[in-house]
């Protein structure tokens, strides 16, 4: 395919037109991600058939409606129009909105074949990067969100979203996107599904984890004797890994998931007898079997591609803490409220013949232990544990997204998306997870891998479902 050409037609600043001054502190949940890479997602939409050959439909109808509804939505989500700043008198950064602040919205046009971008089969990982805006950051300030709407003439358009992870987690991001879609679809007549709740007092921090995490981020990555109060995203650490890499999606149908669950339960007592889970459960969740199956396929594929059985792996997943805190945090809390938990499987377990079952049991064990040890266990030592893993050569496989977010329900008024992609998967080794497009209980998995690894992964993935 020819190199993508993206023409920026317009750069707009979309303001909520609010006279309110707003400052929000960052909690320890937010500060975990202070200089982390942006979370990037792209929604792809086809034009309604009646307008597919109307070149003015995009610029005269779609773009104005998106702009107007975005401004209305930002009135309810003021922090998104502001910035992260770090006042000299403050021990930690804050989110601040001042009247006149605005969100950058790019309007672009692409020469890429729309059918090509909609396919799920492996394609060059770098192609999606043209459909995303940059999220600006510097030592003194960081933007919270930026947006890009890209036209594919006569076929459709995409909405690329880049968000700062220190301000919102996946649930909050989805809350905003669905609110925007609702207001756009209804012309402002229909209320958003959830009103955001911003009160940071509901996040209790008696041990001052926020200050500990802030201190961790002030350490200079090149010189541990220096301290810096920079808010610039560590782009050299989280640079997109797109060279010789491909991006693809894989489907696990409801039937596939049920078969994987039966396989785990049938072999439950045959593997890893030292596991903390003493009794076999009646069932396991789709989340557990998806994470276990895909992570072990990835590990085996990497080992085969590198012709080495010495590669070591770990798996980590984020837990939504809203309902697990005491007292519980409201469902519509807007901000980060997730903690990363590492599965206790041994690094060599991922490539074993029954590795999938072992890892599934370990994930179940970890989830059960959250109720015993608390959902915040280990939050203060995440940095040191990550450094220790890196020194030992252990590669972490993570997971982003959730089948519960319902991203394929995001209708701005011109139909549901044809495809939704978590583009920032290319910044680390991460499994992207969404509910299936058809809404029939399956799970859609997104990956970015070295081309040779992806070929092996695809064979292992499909062979294991037979």
* Helical segments of 222-285, H only: 254-266
pLDDT above 60 (res 1): no
Pairwise pLDDT comparison (223 vs 380), residue with the higher score: 380
pLDDT above 80 (res 3): no
Distances (CA, A) of 422 to 143, 435, 441: 20, 13, 20
What are the strands of the beta sheet with 103-110, ordered from one edge?
A: 6-14, 103-110, 145-152, 156-163, 39-46, 419-422
> What CA–CA distance (Å, rounded) separates 383 from 436?
34
For residue 221, name the pLDDT band (cuts at 50, 70, 90).
low
For residue 236, name the pLDDT band (cuts at 50, 70, 90).
confident
Mean pLDDT within 75-102: 97
For residue 206, name the pLDDT band (cuts at 50, 70, 90).
confident
What are the strands of the beta sheet with 394-402, ordered from one edge?
A: 123-124, 245-252, 443-450, 430-435, 394-402, 312-320, 338-342
Per mean pLDDT, which range of 122-131, 286-295, 342-351 is the poorest?
342-351
> What CA–CA distance (Å, rounded) separates 44 from 42?
6
Question: CA nearest 84: which of 71, 70, 74, 97?
Answer: 97
pLDDT at residue 275, rounded to an integer: 52
| Domain at 6-217, CATH from 3.40.640.10, 3.40.50.150, 2.60.40.1930, 3.30.559.10 | 3.30.559.10
Task: Please spell the DSSP secondary structure of 269-338, one letter per residue.
Answer: GGS-TT-S--S--S---HHHHHHHHHHHHHHHHHHHHHT-S--EEEEEEEEE-TTTSSSPPPTTB-S--E
Which residue ranges make up each domain of the chain? 6-217, 245-463
Q: Are 237 and 221 in contact (CB under 8 A)?
A: yes
pLDDT at residue 254, rounded to an integer: 97
Contacts of 158 (CB under 8 A, 6+ apart): 42, 43, 44, 45, 117, 131, 148, 149, 150, 152
Question: CA nearest 316: which of 240, 253, 367?
Answer: 367
pLDDT at residue 392, rounded to an integer: 85
Per the structure block, which two tokens stand in for 72?
A: 């209305």
The DSSP symbol for 403 reads T
Per mean pLDDT, which range of 123-137, 141-155, 184-198, 324-338 is the poorest?
184-198
Highest mean pLDDT among 183-192, 307-316, 412-421: 412-421
Burial of 396 (0-12, 13-18, 19+ CB in 10 A): middle
Q: Tokens 């030292």 identify what position? A: 274
For residue 273, name the pLDDT band (cuts at 50, 70, 90).
low
pLDDT above 60 (res 212): yes
Which residues of 2-56 form beta strands (DSSP E)? Answer: 6-14, 22-25, 39-46
For residue 385, name the pLDDT band (cuts at 50, 70, 90).
confident
Mean pLDDT within 142-167: 97
Measured between its terminal Cα atoms, the distance across the chain in Å is 33
Highest mean pLDDT among 23-37, 187-201, 219-233: 23-37
Within 10 angstroms of residue 205's Cβ, the number of other Cβ atoms is 14
DSSP-derived 3-state class of residue 197 = strand
- pLDDT tens digits along 158-184: 999 999 999 999 999 999 999 999 999
The reply to whether 245-463 shares the fold of 6-217 is yes
pLDDT above 60 (res 276): no
Within 10 angstroms of residue 406's Cβ, the number of other Cβ atoms is 14
Contacts of 111 (CB under 8 A, 6+ apart): 2, 4, 5
pLDDT above 60 (res 28): yes
pLDDT above 90 (res 146): yes
Q: Are 410 and 177 in contact (CB under 8 A)?
A: yes
Task: Please spell the DSSP secondary structure of 50-117, one letter per residue.
Answer: GGTT-THHIIIIIHHHHHHHHHHHHHH-HHHHSEEE--TT-SS-EEEE-TT--EEEEEEEE-S-HHHH
- pLDDT tens digits along 456-465: 999 999 999 9
Contacts of 393 (CB under 8 A, 6+ apart): 311, 312
DSSP-derived 3-state class of residue 120 = coil
Q: What percent of the chain has pLDDT over 90?
A: 79
Q: What percent of the chain has pLDDT over 70?
A: 96
Distances (CA, A) of 436 to 209, 358, 445, 446: 37, 26, 9, 11
Mean pLDDT across the chain, nearest whole number? 92
pLDDT at residue 5, rounded to an integer: 85
What residues form DSSP beta bridges with 43?
Answer: 159, 420
pLDDT at residue 383, rounded to an integer: 74
What residues form DSSP beta bridges with 149?
Answer: 107, 159
The CATH code for residues 245-463 is 3.30.559.10
Catalytic residue IDs: 165, 411
pLDDT at residue 23, rounded to an integer: 97
- pLDDT tens digits along 106-138: 999 999 999 999 999 999 999 999 999 999 999
Counting DSSP H helices and E strands in the chain, the numbers are: 12, 17
Mean pLDDT within 430-444: 96
pLDDT above 90 (res 443): yes
The DSSP symbol for 219 reads B
pLDDT at residue 228, rounded to an integer: 84
Mean pLDDT within 240-245: 95
Question: CA nearest 70: which of 176, 162, 198?
Answer: 176
pLDDT at residue 369, rounded to an integer: 87
pLDDT above 60 (res 378): yes
- pLDDT tens digits along 33-60: 999 999 999 999 999 888 777 878 999 9
Q: Are 95 and 82 in contact (CB under 8 A)?
A: yes
């Amino acid at each position: 395919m020819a190199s993508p050409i993206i023409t920026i037609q317009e750069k707009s600043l979309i303001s909520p037109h609010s006279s309110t001054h707003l400052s929000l502190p960052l909690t320890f949940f937010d500060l975990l991600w202070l200089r982390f890479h942006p979370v990037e997602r792209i929604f792809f939409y086809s034009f309604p058939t009646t307008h597919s050959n109307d070149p003015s439909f995009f610029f005269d109808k779609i773009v104005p409606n998106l702009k107007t509804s975005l401004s209305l939505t930002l009135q309810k989500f003021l922090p998104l129009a502001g910035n992260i700043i770090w006042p000299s008198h403050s021990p930690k950064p804050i989110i601040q909105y001042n009247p006149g602040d605005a969100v950058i919205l790019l309007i672009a046009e692409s020469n890429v074949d729309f059918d090509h971008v909609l396919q799920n089969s492996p394609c060059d990982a770098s192609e999606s990067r043209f459909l995303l805006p940059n999220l600006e950051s510097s030592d003194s300030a960081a933007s919270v969100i930026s947006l890009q709407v890209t036209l594919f003439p006569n076929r459709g358009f995409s909405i690329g979203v880049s968000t700062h992870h220190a301000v919102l987690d996946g649930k909050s991001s989805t809350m905003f996107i669905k609110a925007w879609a609702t207001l756009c679809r209804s012309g402002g007549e229909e209320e958003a599904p959830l009103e955001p709740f911003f009160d940071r007092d509901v996040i209790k921090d008696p041990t001052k984890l926020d200050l500990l995490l802030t201190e961790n981020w002030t350490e200079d990555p090149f010189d541990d004797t220096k301290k810096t109060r920079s808010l610039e995203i560590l782009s050299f650490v989280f640079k997109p890994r797109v060279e010789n890499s491909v991006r693809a999606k894989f489907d696990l149908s409801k039937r596939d998931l049920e078969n994987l669950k039966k396989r785990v339960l049938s072999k439950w007592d045959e593997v890893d007898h030292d596991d903390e889970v003493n009794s076999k459960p009646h069932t396991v969740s789709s989340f557990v079997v998806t994470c276990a199956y895909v992570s072990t396929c990835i590990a085996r594929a990497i080992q085969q591609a590198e012709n080495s059985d010495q590669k070591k792996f770990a798996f980590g997943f984020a837990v939504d803490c809203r309902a697990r805190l005491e007292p519980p945090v409201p469902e519509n809390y807007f901000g980060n409220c997730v903690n990363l938990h590492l599965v206790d499987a041994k690094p060599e377990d991922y490539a074993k013949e029954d590795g999938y079952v072992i890892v599934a049991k370990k994930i179940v064990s970890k989830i059960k232990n959250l109720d015993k040890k608390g959902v915040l266990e280990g939050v203060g030592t995440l940095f040191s544990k990550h450094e220790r893993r890196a020194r030992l050569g252990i590669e972490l496989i993570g997971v982003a997204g959730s089948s519960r977010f319902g991203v394929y329900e995001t209708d701005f008024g011109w139909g549901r998306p044809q495809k939704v992609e978590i583009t920032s998967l290319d910044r680390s080794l991460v499994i992207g997870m969404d509910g299936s497009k058809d809404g029939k209980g399956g799970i859609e998995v997104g990956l970015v891998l070295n081309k040779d690894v992806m070929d092996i992964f695809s064979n292992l993935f499909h062979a294991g479902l037979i």
